């Protein structure tokens, strides 16, 4: 038999105060995002260890080389305490590199993370003029969030290299009340869906992206880093201004804009669902006044991967 071994610790939630600020990123016209002060950063982290050295733990119950997953949890917190953690990707690299440096029998591993956003709360300004972002109060944001995956491997010289990488913005939920269409699609005896030259469009969407040079993901050059907040803002800008003829049409336009805006990216991917509401009632006096309900399942599911030639 051939064995492929993975084990690790998942769902390790880490809340870190006073990480190093994120500065020096390249600004884009679609986004007001300029960086993060990182007074509070939080992430859900997973480590997946790979390597044949652990085989005897499976075949003979020999645990002498097995690092307990509870130890992994404590190790993630210990490294996070001293990490720069300017971005999720850099945070994962710092933790993953420390694993490979500390436990030399670990050959390869994958670090997976998702942001747990806590933006600063708006509070009355101390001078009484308007409102300011608090320096001590933060509010959990349960909307869309950034994600990252790094595959790491130890080289023969002992250094750690990134062998695979993907960043993401997950669980975007966007609705546009007008300026979307779905018409002129194939029809046959099974088709009951009416054509809609203008419709509201509600989508759930995950966006992923990878860099040609993985070092750009981990802030070797901060001006080449693509922030998840900027990706969300590009999706918003394109959805707002673009008259799409389908969800496929829309995600292709977003992906094309991303590759145009960031030449350092090698690919962009989309996993989208059509969650368009069901029309329930319409005003007799004004056809633009309507009520909707949540749609019944099943839901349309659309995928796209754009890669540079």
- CB atoms under 10 Å from CB of 43, counted, come to 25
Mean pLDDT of 271-284: 95
pLDDT of residue 254: 98
Structure tokens at 196: 């809609």
For the chain, what is the mean pLDDT? 95
- CB atoms under 10 Å from CB of 234, counted, come to 23
For the stretch 154-181, pLDDT in tens is 998 989 999 999 999 999 999 999 999 8
Mean pLDDT of 183-194: 81
**What is the spatial distance between Cα 42 and Cα 286, in angstroms, rounded to a whole number?**
47
CB 265 within 8 A of CB 256: no
**Domain boundaries for CATH 3.10.270.10 within the chain:** 6-167, 169-307
Active-site residue (options: 6, 9, 102, 256): 9
Mean pLDDT of 251-265: 98
pLDDT of residue 30: 98
> Which residue is associated with the tokens 């690299």?
93
Express as a percent the part of the chain with pLDDT over 90: 86
Q: How confident is the model at residue 275 (pLDDT cuts 50, 70, 90)?
A: very high
CB 179 within 8 A of CB 156: no
For the stretch 232-248, pLDDT in tens is 999 999 999 999 999 99
Q: What are phi and psi of 43, to 5 degrees?
A: -155, 155
Q: Which fold has domain 6-167?
A: Urate Oxidase (3.10.270)
Query: Is residue 69 flagged as an active site residue?
Result: yes
Structure tokens at 29: 């016209």
pLDDT of 212 over the 80 cut: yes
283 Cβ contact partners less than 8 Å away, ≥ 6 residues apart: 289, 290
pLDDT of residue 241: 97
Query: Is residue 288 flagged as an active site residue?
Result: no
285 Cβ contact partners less than 8 Å away, ≥ 6 residues apart: none
Q: Is 293 exposed, middle or buried (0-12, 13-18, 19+ CB in 10 A)?
A: exposed
pLDDT of 184 over the 80 cut: no
- Our measurement of the distance from residue 265's CA atom to the centroid of its chain's CA atoms, rounded to an integer in Å, reads 15
**What is the spatial distance between Cα 210 and Cα 304, in angstroms, rounded to a whole number?**
14
199 Cβ contact partners less than 8 Å away, ≥ 6 residues apart: 180, 181, 182, 276
- For domain 169-307, the CATH architecture is Roll (3.10)
Mean pLDDT of 292-305: 94
**What is the spatial distance between Cα 202 and Cα 129, in angstroms, rounded to a whole number?**
38
pLDDT of 183 over the 80 cut: no
Active-site residue (options: 23, 69, 256, 291): 69
Q: Which of 230, 268, 228 is nearest to 113 (CA)?
A: 228
């Amino acid at each position: 038999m051939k064995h492929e071994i993975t084990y690790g610790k998942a769902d390790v939630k880490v809340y870190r105060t006073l990480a190093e600020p994120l500065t020096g990123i390249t600004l884009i016209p679609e986004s007001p995002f300029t960086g993060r002060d990182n007074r509070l950063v939080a992430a859900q982290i997973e480590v997946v260890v790979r390597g044949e050295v652990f085989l005897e733990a499976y075949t003979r119950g020999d645990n002498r080389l097995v690092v307990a997953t509870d130890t992994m949890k404590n190790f993630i917190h210990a490294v996070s305490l001293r990490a720069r953690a300017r971005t999720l990707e850099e945070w994962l690299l710092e933790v993953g590199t420390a694993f490979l440096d500390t436990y030399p029998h670990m050959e390869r591993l994958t670090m997976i993370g998702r942001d747990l956003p806590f933006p600063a709360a708006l509070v009355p300004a101390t001078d009484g003029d308007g409102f300011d972002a608090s320096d001590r109060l933060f509010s959990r944001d349960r909307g869309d969030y950034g994600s990252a995956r790094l595959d790491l491997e130890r080289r023969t010289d002992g250094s750690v290299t990134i062998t695979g990488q993907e960043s993401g913005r997950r669980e975007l939920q966007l609705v546009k009340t007008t300026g979307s269409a779905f018409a002129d699609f194939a029809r046959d005896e099974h088709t009951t869906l009416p054509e809609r030259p203008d419709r509201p469009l509600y989508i759930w969407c995950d966006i992923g992206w990878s860099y040609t040079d993985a070092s750009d993901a981990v802030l070797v050059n901060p001006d080449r880093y693509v922030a998840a907040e900027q990706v969300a803002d590009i999706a918003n800008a394109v959805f707002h201004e673009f008259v799409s003829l389908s969800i496929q049409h829309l995600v292709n336009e977003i992906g094309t804009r991303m590759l145009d805006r960031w030449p350092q990216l090698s690919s962009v991917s989309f996993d989208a669902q059509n969650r368009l509401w069901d029309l329930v009632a319409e005003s007799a006096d004004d056809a633009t006044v309507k009520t909707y309900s949540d749609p019944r399942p099943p839901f349309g599911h659309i995928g796209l991967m754009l890669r540079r030639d």
